[in-house]
Structure 1
Amino acid sequence: MEAGFERAVAPHRRELLVHCYRMLGSLQDAEDVVQETMLRAWRAFDRFDPTRASLRTWLYRIATNACLNALESRASRPLPSSAGPAFDDPDAAFVPASEVPWLLPFPNDPESAAVERSRLRLALVAALQLLPARQRAALILREVLDLPAAEVADSLGMTTAAVNSALQRARARLAEAGVDPEAAAEPPAAQRAIVDRYVDAFERADVAALTALLADDVVLEMPPMANWYLGRDDYAGFMRRVYRLRGTDWHTEPLWANGEPGFAAYVDGALHTVQVLSVEQGRVTRTTVFQSPEVFALFGLLPAQR
């Protein structure tokens, strides 16, 4: 691509990647669509008219429609907590659901801008996946990017009235899921302090200390398994099962994903899982446990012995 084009679009690449990830629920899919967006933009760059729209808005329009095209041929990526009822037996057999394209984490770091961390919260991205594709796009463009409703309508080939109707339905669906798209992520230091206490209890296999850090309505889920649990009691019961079956020789390495703290968990020296924790008001509200080579690769982790 020509140097002038690259200089013009370079400042927008990161936010376009975040935008496409929120739409698609997969970093790899988002990277593919951003590449497609840049190719389309380069081919049409000589026709770009800055008097009609800013370069940023023009790029978002291309990226959003590329995401909508991609979603025509693939399913949205849920988390287990939105795909079926909670399990009520912590000792229930695991139910593999590898055929489901589950939501994947987005590796980042605590130095990311506060607005990016808020937009990437795992609960928000998971809730967005519940929306029909055009509702999702309208909500992201209007609420997250703060584009005027008329510009959103122009980008999506809709009327302004249709956009406002879609926004109303999308907001209601997110409210049902208990997610506020405008909520800010808690400061990284405050989140990490709670997770560090959780990790200390986790490595000591101290279920009582670990459970004391949980919100009453905490969610524990572990794609690609369909199993998920709601509430402190079932969470504690599941952790007792983990230590009973896998032993207590655990160690961890810290990481960040979706603007939230987490860790890679190793048992008997072998990589076991990537765990991302959501923290609100000093309590863990959600733990999402990923156990797949695809997720390990996202974080540059190798399933090797210590």
Structure 2
Amino acid sequence: MPQSWDDLESHRPELLALCYRMTGSAHEAEDLVQETYLRAWRARASFEARSAIRTWLYRIAVNVCLTALHGRGRRVLPAGLGTPGEDPDVPLPAAETLWLTPWLGDPAHVAEQRGMLRLALVASAQHLPPRQRAAFLLREVLAMPAAEIAQVLGTSVPAVKSALQRARSRLDELAPSAEQVTEPDSPAARDILNSYVAAFEAADIAALTRLLRDDATLEVIPSGVSLSGKRQCVPFLAEYVLTAPGRYRMFPTVANEQPSAVAYHRERPDAPFRPFGLAVLTTDTTHLVSIAAFTDPELVAAAGFPEDPGRLR
């Protein structure tokens, strides 16, 4: 059996990230990791060191995720809904859809390979069948060899290699190119994020228009709004969002290994600011490429920010 409970706890950050990538929900990932540790504790006496503790834990975690995903639709961003009737995997209207949620953990502690927690890639991975998704994540994120993945999934090495080939082919179709995507701590990404925050706080639609790339996208969760191209995004933002200066207060952060901003909102100039949500941005070296806006006030606290933004300034 493991020498101590610390032997198991040291793997928690990686397990959380794996369960998030598998399910597309940070909250669900927490519950699944708890279930993983409960099962591991109950089975600790049966651990005979025929495999590494890490492999043993991942076998439990993957099985927990596969059980949770059985018979359930995938989590998506609004763009993933497609035209009604075209995607049989998502037959429900937006109000009943399982939405992807942002990851607010520290990516430095979960994987060496950067970019694997980016929102678009996590969303693309949801298109893979769950077992194929698990094989891909174990290989690409955790660098497990095919033989070890086969142990985790209880299958053969040829089956794992076939699953990986199909997964990579599908993600090549779905996942966006990362060639011009900047890291969240790069000077270019910080400048774009700061400009985005300033434009929102001042309701400066002209500044935001300059910031958006011509093919920029905007998605709003859970409303289901999905707009593509500056010509669609700007009128929507001008009419429904940036209606007057001083309505938003925003603070830079990082989510899904991307530049992001937590947002507070008030209805009137004399009203207090209240937590509003989180925007996850994708940038290239000069422009804002996409905005995924999650209008969930609980995300502000989850990102480590207080209820009252006055405490931050």
Check whether TM > 0.5: yes
**Distance 1:272-1:284 versus aligned 2 partners, 3 A rule:** same
Report how many residues are paired: 294
The percent of aligned pairs where both chains have the same amino acid is 45
Structure 1: how far apart are the matches of 2:152 and 2:181? 26
Residue of structure 1 equivalent to 2:88:
none
Counterpart check, 1:24 vs 2:23: yes
Q: CA RMSD in A?
A: 3.0
Residue of structure 2 equivalent to 1:286:
290
Residue of structure 2 equivalent to 1:298:
302
Structure 1: how far apart are the matches of 2:2 and 2:51? 22
TM-score (norm 1): 0.84
Q: CA deviation at 1:22?
A: 0.6
Secondary structure (helix, strand or coil) at the match of 2:9 reads helix
Secondary structure (helix, strand or coil) at the match of 2:97 reads coil
Secondary structure (helix, strand or coil) at the match of 2:112 reads helix
User: Which of structures 1 and 2 has the larger relative contact order (alpha carbons within 8 angstroms, sep 6+)?
Assistant: 1
Structure 2: how far apart are the matches of 1:134 and 1:118? 22
Residue of structure 1 equivalent to 2:57:
59
- Matches for 1:108-119 after TM superposition, within 5 Å: 108=105, 115=112, 118-119=115-116
**Distance 1:261-1:155 versus aligned 2 partners, 3 A rule:** same
**Distance 1:45-1:120 versus aligned 2 partners, 3 A rule:** same
Equivalent residue in structure 2 for 1:277, among 274, 281, 294: 281
Output one character per residue of 1:62-108: Cα deviation in whole Å (capped at 9) or x when no partner: 1111100110153321111111249xxxxxxxxx8332120111113
Q: CA deviation at 1:4?
A: 4.6
TM-score (norm 2): 0.83
Counterpart check, 1:186 vs 2:190: no
Q: CA deviation at 1:142?
A: 1.2
**Distance 1:39-1:178 versus aligned 2 partners, 3 A rule:** closer
**Distance 1:112-1:144 versus aligned 2 partners, 3 A rule:** closer
Question: Is the Cα contact below 8 Å between 1:5 and 1:42 reproduced in 2?
Answer: no
Residue of structure 2 equivalent to 1:80:
78
**Distance 1:233-1:210 versus aligned 2 partners, 3 A rule:** same
Residue of structure 1 equivalent to 2:215:
217
**Distance 1:272-1:293 versus aligned 2 partners, 3 A rule:** closer
- Matches for 1:1-306 after TM superposition, within 5 Å: 4-50=3-49, 52-85=50-83, 97-108=94-105, 115=112, 118-179=115-176, 186-190=183-187, 191-243=189-241, 246-249=243-246, 250-268=248-266, 269-296=273-300, 298-299=302-303
Q: CA deviation at 1:262?
A: 1.5
Question: Is the Cα contact below 8 Å between 1:141 and 1:147 reproduced in 2?
Answer: yes
Question: Is the Cα contact below 8 Å between 1:117 and 1:185 reproduced in 2?
Answer: no
Q: CA deviation at 1:279?
A: 2.2
Comparing 273-282 and 6-15, the one that deviates more = 273-282
**Distance 1:304-1:73 versus aligned 2 partners, 3 A rule:** farther
